[in-house]
Structure 1
Amino acid sequence: MVCVIIAAAGQGKRMGSAINKVLLPLAGKSVLAHTVQAVCQAEAVTSIVVTAAIEEVERTSEQLASLKLAVPWQVVPGGSERQYSIVNALKVVAPTAKIVVVHDGARPLAQTSLFNQVIAVAREERAAIAGVPVKDTIKIADPSGWVTDTPDRHTLWSVQTPQAFERELLLTAYEQAMQEGYLGTDDASLVERLGIKVKVVPGNYQNIKITTPEDLQFAETVLGERQEARSMVRAGIGYDVHRLVPKRKLILGGVDIPHTLGLDGHSDADVLLHAIKDALLGAAALGDIGRHFPDTDGRYQGISSLKLLADVRQILSKNGYRVNNIDATIVAQKPKLATYIPQMNSNIAAALGIAINQINVKATTTEGLGFAGQGEGMAAYATATIITAQG
């Protein structure tokens, strides 16, 4: 289980506004609403805790209630410093949460895919943070303004949120910081003081923290561009062919079909699913199945192509896409496949997390012509469309 703490108790003095910057309007919603909705769409998130200034707890709660979020949430009063606000939030995080993510409420441009990536790395490495390589040359100067050093830019990262940690690790880090009176500038700095390594996950330069009116204008532009992108449909085409041989199962669309011959291949040689996977990866400009699941890798020996199709779905999701629809054709002289096609459609829809009416499988013969017509092999063609996932 994953809990996300959203720090939204700041004052935002540089914004020059009478209200908290996270409550300011942005592209038809508040800054905080954009942030929270991106968090809710992350696959692993099971709860949200938002910190708010004491005088804004009620208003923040009303805003969140109006969003009708699918993930349980609560608002807790913040403290005089961000670090104290996170301490208050950690007190209400359920012990069942294995991973705790901390995110700035004033970063409404962080996309769902970034949350997914940071959480996944934290599960493996215990601590993970989003960041981007520094573009400018950085100088270290003394109090008088004289340059004392020029660090190697290639080792420097501009750190963002989300930042994700094992719950017990983050609790220990905060407890030690409180005992020693240490005030850090981010959550990772507290964890680093324990001697724990923190993994950087490449973020996005658009993931800015709203601080000034100019930042709001930038965010408005970015969100407008994303809205336009969501309406764009990307298309891909896939083709695959396999030889028919004795002593092999004939697997098509994840269905074991009785036949005297089966398709030869490194995996289960499901020619239909291979074509569909290539179409989906092509639509996303992410190569082909040979790149992601090479036949030189023993892990894929005899593996179910339905399993790999589900993996392709995850690849698309991590890159911000979801499946729109698929149309595919199997080319085979024998056996007759019509009675098996409904189950193929059902298997594919389940693997991709789409509705049954988003997948259409057909079968045809070549009237005895070519390798398929002569019963030497089977082929499959597939077209797929994908769209940008929300968030």
Structure 2
Amino acid sequence: MSVAALIVAAGRGSRAGEGIPKQYRLLGGKPVLTRTLEAFVGQQRIKKALVVIHPDDQHLYQECVTALPAGYADLLLPVAYGGETRQDSVRNGLEALSGLAPRHVLIHDAARPFVDVSLIDRTLGAVLIWGAVVPGIAVTDTIKVIGPQGEVVSTPDRASLRAVQTPQAFDFAPLLTAHRKAASDGFRNFTDDGALAEWAGLPVHVFPGDIGNVKLTHTTDFAEAERRLKGSTMTYVTRLGTGFDVHAFGDGDHVWLGGIKIPHDRGVVAHSDGDVILHALTDALLGALADGDIGTHFPPSDPQWRSASSDRFLAHAAGLVRNRGGVIDHLDATLLCEKPRLGPYREAMRKRIAEICSLRLDQVSLKATTTEKLGFTGRGEGIAAQAAATIRLPEASHES
């Protein structure tokens, strides 16, 4: 066997938000990994392909294999299982291939489903010449090297810089030796195989990559990928959802608000941690999806949600938006209470909400108001929050 493909699909894809790992999410109605496998298994010069997966993802992987065209699955080798780092996962895959002793190996990230025949052919041609090759794209932005305080240390000449992609290709035996040496020497955090090969003293050459060979990393990448697949026919519908939550004060010395623990002379009476801001935002997202409310997804009668952290609820709702191919544009919440004051904690809350939903900070707004001593909040008997969420869903997801 002269050429084998090794597809790395063991990551958890945390930057893409909550939900199933990004390589198994649907893109244009088909799992990302299925699209990636089609590109490689369909190549006549690639005799076998091996996928490295997380041990917990066997059923998701089988769904991707089932979605392949007839006959493609016959070219797939039994899976290898990933390790703690990407480097560990690649090494496990190489060890699994070692019995077949391919001459060359192409290593590709599962989350790059737009790899095309031309790039794969160029990769195969380059590795025959150089033995260790990586595709690279010229850098168009000015790059700054910064120090620990954010100060500029240097400005490298961008003419000599390249943004590196996959597939990366290598003579198999020297790469396996390099991986084994790195592991035995305690070096386990190389983020790509070209860097590991450089460390091992192997000459690595860069050949022209493909600007369209993007890696799906963040939530917005999936929305852009859907638009790319459907071209001008892809349209979105904007939806607005609202949410409201209230909890009575009770015994305690803190309250949870916006994912932050706030010291207070009272606690709240709640089944979970009683975070009214996160609860209201969760209901706002579910409302925009027309998918019930927080009680539907996390019923208070279920003991597993007792004292649960509310960031799980909000992350779940954000994941539902992403799984529908949607995008969260903006979250806005208002806290209604006399005490505690929001001001000292506002930015920490905004940052935490942005982290939970994989949003930029400028997509999260928080405000607070009193009720002028009126009602249960004015009397200090409880705390409330109202929220709004703006999302976009693919037109196909819009039910009449």
Q: For 1:282-302, what per-residue CA distance to the aligned partner results, in whole angstroms no more than 9, with x for missing partners?
A: xxxxxxxxxxxxxxxxxxxxx
Cα contact 1:131–1:200 (8 A) shared by 2:
yes
Seen in structure 2, the aligned counterparts of structure 1 residues 32 and 129 have a Cα distance that, compared at 3 Å, is same
Q: Distance in 1 between matches of 2:233 and 2:166?
A: 23
Match of residue 204 from structure 2: 198
Map 1:81-160 to 2 at 5 A: 81-93=85-97, 94-160=99-165
Contact 2:8 2:51 in 1 (8 A): yes
Give the paired residue count: 228
Is residue 181 from structure 1 mapped to residue 182 from structure 2 by the alignment?
A: no
What is the CA–CA distance in structure 2 between the aligned matches of 1:28 and 1:80, rounded to whole Å? Answer: 30
**Residue 227 of structure 1, CA deviation:** 11
Alpha-carbon deviation of 1:225? 4.3
Shift of 1:145: 0.6
Distance 1:126 1:141, change over 3 A: same
Cα distance change of structure 1 residues 21 and 80 upon mapping to structure 2, 3 Å threshold: same
SS in 2 for 1:73: coil
Aligned AA (1:224)? K
Give the 3-state SS of the residue equivalent to 2:168 in structure 1: strand
Matched residue, 2:25: 24
Q: Is the 8 A contact 2:95 2:176 kept in 1?
A: no
Alignment match, 2:56:
55
* Letter in structure 1 aligned against 2:80: V
Establish whether residue 219 from structure 1 lines up as the match of residue 225 from structure 2. Answer: yes
CA distance in 2, matches of 1:214, 1:134: 21
Give unpaired runs (5+ residues) of structure 1. Answer: 229-391
Query: Aligned AA for 1:118?
Result: T
Q: CA deviation at 1:62?
A: 3.5
Report Cα offsets for 1:97-152 as digits up to 9, x if no partner: 11011100000111121111111111111011111011100000100011010000
Judged with a 3 Å threshold, the aligned counterparts in structure 2 of structure 1 residues 2 and 150 are, in CA distance, closer, same or farther, namely same
Query: Where do residues 326-337 of structure 1 align in structure 2 (5 Å cutoff)?
Result: none
Relative to structure 1, is the Cα distance of residues 9 and 149 closer, same or farther in structure 2, using a 3 angstrom cutoff?
A: same
| CA distance in structure 1 between the aligned counterparts of 2:232 and 2:130, rounded to whole angstroms | 31
**TM-score with structure 2 length normalisation?**
0.55
Deviations 1:22-73 (A, max 9, x none): 1100012011111110112223111111111111023203421341315233
Q: For residues 56 and 227 of structure 1, do their structure 2 counterparts lie closer, same or farther at Cα, with a shift above 3 Å needed?
A: farther
Any conservation in 2 of the 1:139–1:151 contact (CA below 8 Å)?
A: yes
| Deviations, residues 160-181 of structure 1 (Å, cap 9, x unaligned) | 0000000001101101111111
Deviation of 1:187 after TM superposition, in Å, equals 0.4
The separation in 2 between residues aligned to 1:31 and 1:160, in whole angstroms, is 17
Deviations 1:178-231 (A, max 9, x none): 111112110011111122211112111121111112111222222334999xxx
Residue deviations 1:290-344 (CA, integer Å, cap 9, x gap): xxxxxxxxxxxxxxxxxxxxxxxxxxxxxxxxxxxxxxxxxxxxxxxxxxxxxxx
Q: What SS does structure 2 have at the residue aligned with 1:144?
A: coil
Instruction: Tell me the secondary structure at the aligned position of residue 158 of structure 1.
Output: strand
8 Å Cα contact 2:53-2:81 kept in structure 1: yes
Alignment correspondent of 2:80: 76
Structure 2 equivalent of residue 3 of structure 1:
4
- Structure 2, gaps ≥5 residues long: 235-400
* Preserved CA contact (<8 Å) 1:43 1:116: no
Letter matched to residue 61 of structure 1: Q
The ranges of structure 1 where at least 4 consecutive aligned residues each deviate by more than 4 angstroms after the TM superposition are 225-228
CA RMSD, 1 decimal = 1.9
Contact kept in structure 1, 2:4 and 2:46, CA below 8 Å:
yes
Q: TM-score, normalised by structure 1?
A: 0.56
d(CA) in 1 for partners of 2:207, 2:12: 28
